[in-house]
Amino acid sequence: MYQIEKFKNGLTVVLEPIPYVKSISLGIFVGSGSGNEPTNLNGISHFIEHMNFKGTKTRSAREIAEVLDSVGGKLNAYTSKEHTSYYATVLDEHFDTALALMSDIFFNSLYRESDIETEKRVVLEEIKMYEDSPDEIIHDLYVRNIWPDFNLGQPVIGRKEVVSSLTRQDVVDYLDEHYFPGNIIISVAGKFKKDQILEKIREVFSRLNNKKKIHKESKLPTFKSGVNLINKETEQIHLCFGSRGVSYHDERRYPLLVLSSIIGGSMSSVLFQEIREKRGLVYSIFSYPQYFKNSGLFTIYAGTGLKNARDVLAIIIEKIENLKKDFPVNMLITAKEQLKGNLILGLESTSNKMSWNGKNYFYYEKVLNVKEISRIINKIEVDDLLKLLDYIVNPQYYALTAIGNFKEDIFKGIINDK
């Protein structure tokens, strides 16, 4: 059972002892992502994540990398559109080592000018690598085209011209604005005694001073439908097609997971069976929902040859629109069991449990009970999914972004005339 503690300085700690394991996972979640960034600083949250591994007052970048390696542990971090996470997993006897390391990079990172210039080159190479992976960047471009005028549409990795111009003062100012206790959640899951761990965390993180100013949340974005084609030499056409979705706080988020599973979430899904198994038009096709604090998207990805791309999109639209009048009721039970199984099995590791608890508190200010979620999933009926289909499968909100060697708009008339 988890326990939530709030320190006087505003920092939140979520603890969940799991006595039968040998590992312990520690995560620090900061409410800083590309959705919080002004346009002229797009990518700075991700850049700061990189910089926090470049050296502290007592450790070089190499020593930071070696600390947990030497005790068989793992250290990593990621940045999303709405938060940044630093996390580690070690054997329980090495928790003090992990805590000391993570607090060191949190409090004592130097952000040297020379390191900033070096890391800018690293991130610019990362952006180039990303741009050379059309099956990856297509998802980012799709979101950008739907929300072109909103921070939530900005790429997490940033844009070349912005990253190139970042300064040490930009980094220090942004840290001051976002890295304060009221904007930080610490999550711990694994083998430990609550009181001992809590005291160790308090001893380290109570020195942080809270701030009255709170950073601005991303604004509620307005959905922009339509077709966006990016001309690029590729072997395949990579496309993302979709519509509006729901937010983390919308009660339809679980029905949407079930619906996505039926549409394109597994090998037995409608689109996989029809477009790959029956027609052989794709290797990869899948659907997924994206949830944010105040908005969301539903997306279908497919990779196919130029001569098949128009047919693939037409079949996708035909199949999802047909669900309104001919819903595969027999797939509902399978989809619900799949979702529950993935949820429960996914929380068996201390790392995933720590992440679940931390992100839950970030979005809901509580940790959602897995048994209660399972009960909610069990109650989902066909009517719930049909209502959701009416919301999602609406030509007014159809959006398509595709990358490939286009000589013309091969999709003309499929979406444009709806």
Q: Which residues are annotated as catalytic?
A: 49
Strand duo 184-190 + 12-17: pairing? parallel
Q: 72 — alpha (psi -120 to 50), left (phi > 0) or beta? A: left
Return d(Cα 205, Cα 356) in angstroms, integer. Answer: 22
Reduce the DSSP state of residue 104 to 3 states and report it.
helix
Reduce the DSSP state of residue 66 to 3 states and report it.
helix
- Maximum alpha-carbon separation in the chain: 65
Return d(Cα 347, Cα 191) in angstroms, integer. Answer: 15
Return d(Cα 1, Cα 322) in angstroms, integer. Answer: 44
Q: Among residues 196, 170, 203, 217, which one has the least CA distance to residue 11? A: 203
Return d(Cα 151, Cα 32) in angstroms, integer. Answer: 12
Reduce the DSSP state of residue 89 to 3 states and report it.
strand
Return d(Cα 75, Cα 382) in angstroms, integer. Answer: 43
Beta sheet of 74-79, edge-to-edge order: 3-6, 12-17, 184-190, 23-30, 84-91, 74-79
Q: How many CB atoms lie within 10 A of CB 24?
A: 27
Assign 3-class secondary structure to 138-167. Answer: HHHHHHHHHCCCCHHHCCCCCCHHHHHHCC
DSSP state letter for 7: -
How buried is residue 340: exposed, middle or buried, by Cβ count under 10 Å (0-12/13-18/19+)? middle
> In this structure, are residues 152 and 218 in contact, taking their beta carbons and an 8 Å threshold?
yes
Return d(Cα 193, Cα 84) in angstroms, integer. Answer: 27
Return d(Cα 368, Cα 193) in angstroms, integer. Answer: 22
Instruction: Give me the amino acid identity at 76.
Output: N
Roughly what angle, to the nearest 10 degrees, separates helices 370-378 and 330-346? Answer: 170
